[in-house]
Amino acid sequence: MAAPNYPAWVTRWVSGQWRQKKRPPVIRPTRPLVLADKVANRREQAGEATCITEMSVMMACWKQSDFNDTACAEEIQTFYDCVAKAEKERKSQNKEDVLSPRGNLTSSQVNKLLRRFPQITRYV
């Protein structure tokens, strides 16, 4: 009795050849898959300008009084108070390790974390 004659696809399926063609390629990384010890220091994005209206009022007063400080003492003091308040807020915000408004860590915060938790590249 002769062996049954199956279609070619059945023979490939039974022999496992179909698995070899569908297997994804092997990817070998060129470098070890480990985080670096530090990240590049990038300049922080400039925040929004503060005290713009107070500065505009002060300059308008100066222009009207031919740049006489005594005539614009109140506007100058208002501007200096605003600047001091903004500087105090900025310093208090810098002291806290908080996320940026977009929710990202700054490069200095990332470096601090990487120093705190170094990468283990080999096992003892």
Judge whether 31 lies within some domain.
Answer: no
Judge whether 37 lies within some domain.
Answer: no
Q: How many domains does the chain have?
A: 1
Judge whether 94 lies within some domain.
Answer: yes
Judge whether 83 lies within some domain.
Answer: yes
Residue 91, domain extent: 48-123
Over the stretch 2-22, which tens digit does the pLDDT of each residue have?
A: 667 888 877 777 776 555 556
Indicate whether 23 pLDDT > 80.
no
pLDDT band at 121; cut points 50, 70, 90: low
Indicate whether 124 pLDDT > 70.
no
Judge whether 23 lies within some domain.
Answer: no
Judge whether 43 lies within some domain.
Answer: no
Which two tokens mark 118?
A: 């170094």
User: Cα–Cα distance between 74 and 5 in angstroms, integer?
Assistant: 104
Over the stretch 53-99, which tens digit does the pLDDT of each residue have?
A: 999 999 999 999 998 889 999 999 999 999 999 999 888 876 555 55
